[in-house]
């Protein structure tokens, strides 16, 4: 069965829309976009459209590619101080910046407004992509899923590492972390009941590497990590496209609602 991420996202959005309609003020997201990368432009537009559907404000702050790390960090910090801003995010990747510089920019996002969960370890806000994956797993899970072997390909990367941590925190699951350089990747996958891949390497996982009846969740952007043969062998296959992607955007809006409620209790 191919999982319909668009349909699931609509269900989540309807719940959020109802939730927002009961709020005293309208929540607001600000997304900082550096440069004009086509993929980043697309993701930003999709988020803006989702925000409109659920009834929240969405503002894009566009900055030139040539902006330095210090100036970008300053702008993010300034935006974070605006009281009308409920959630703040920086669209990744940031052109021209090294990994450590990106971390410094993200550190300028107030923990109370970390809507994308990019400072998850400190803010306690689940990253939107991780929330999407776990929400999908919960929607298709039977009692056995959480007791059986879960393998995360790309488990040493940013998304995979965070996913493993949150699976342990929320469901007390110990997932196996592997990556594209693992010597016996096929051997590890052959034992898995659930395979989640977030590497971004097309064709990395093929049909002969997995057994029939698995739950296959493909998070490899932009073309997917799994072949169609993997999807065909799975009991549930979450494909690329129209799988985790649309759900991630809906979960971003869920995070915004959580932040709003958390703020109102202070």
> Would you state the pLDDT for residue 56?
97
Kindly state whether residues 172 and 223 are assigned to the same domain. Answer: yes
The domain total for the chain is: 2
Kindly state the greatest CA–CA separation across the chain.
55
CA atoms within 13 A on the CB side of 144: 6
Residue-number span of the structural domain to which 198 is assigned:
128-245
Residue 240 and residue 217: Cα distance in Å, rounded? 9
Which positions of the chain have pLDDT values less than 50? none
- The answer to whether the beta carbons of residues 3 and 236 sit under 8 Å apart is yes
Kindly state whether residues 81 and 147 are assigned to the same domain. Answer: no
In a domain, 217, yes or no: yes
DSSP SS3 for 153? strand
Kindly state whether residues 217 and 238 are assigned to the same domain. Answer: yes
> Would you state the pLDDT for residue 263?
81
> Would you state the pLDDT for residue 222?
87
> Would you state the pLDDT for residue 266?
59
| Residue pLDDT, tens place only, 112-155 | 999 999 999 899 999 999 999 999 999 998 878 898 999 999 99
Rounded to 5 degrees, what are φ and ψ at 232? -65, -30
128 is in an annotated binding site: no
Please count the other Cβ atoms lying within 10 Å of the Cβ belonging to residue 161.
16
Residue 59 and residue 134: Cα distance in Å, rounded? 28
Kindly state whether residues 83 and 161 are assigned to the same domain. Answer: no
């Amino acid at each position: 069965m191919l999982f319909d991420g668009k349909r699931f996202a609509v269900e989540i959005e309807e719940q959020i829309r109802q939730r927002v309609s009961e709020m005293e003020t309208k929540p607001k997201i600000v997304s900082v976009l550096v440069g004009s990368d086509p993929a980043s432009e697309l993701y930003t537009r999709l988020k803006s459209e989702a925000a409109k559907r659920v009834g929240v404000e969405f503002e894009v702050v566009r900055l030139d590619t040539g902006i330095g790390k210090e100036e970008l960090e300053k702008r993010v910090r300034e935006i974070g101080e605006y009281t009308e801003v409920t959630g703040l995010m920086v669209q990744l990747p940031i052109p021209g910046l090294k990994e450590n510089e990106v971390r410094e920019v993200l550190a300028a996002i107030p923990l109370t407004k970390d809507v994308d969960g990019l400072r998850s370890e400190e803010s306690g806000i689940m990253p939107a992509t991780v929330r999407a994956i776990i929400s999908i797993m919960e929607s298709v899970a039977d009692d056995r899923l959480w007791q059986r072997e879960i393998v995360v390909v790309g488990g040493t990367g940013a998304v995979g590492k965070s996913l493993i941590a949150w699976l342990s925190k929320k469901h007390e699951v110990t997932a196996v972390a592997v990556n594209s350089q693992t010597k016996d990747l096929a051997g590890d996958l052959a034992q898995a009941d659930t395979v989640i891949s977030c590497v971004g390497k097309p064709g990395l996982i093929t049909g002969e590497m997995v057994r029939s009846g698995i739950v296959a969740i493909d998070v490899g952007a932009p073309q997917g990590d799994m072949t169609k043969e993997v999807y065909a062998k799975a009991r549930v296959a979450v494909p690329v496209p129209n799988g985790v992607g649309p759900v991630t955007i809906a979960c971003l809006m869920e995070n915004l609602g959580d932040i709003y409620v958390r703020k109102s209790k202070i």
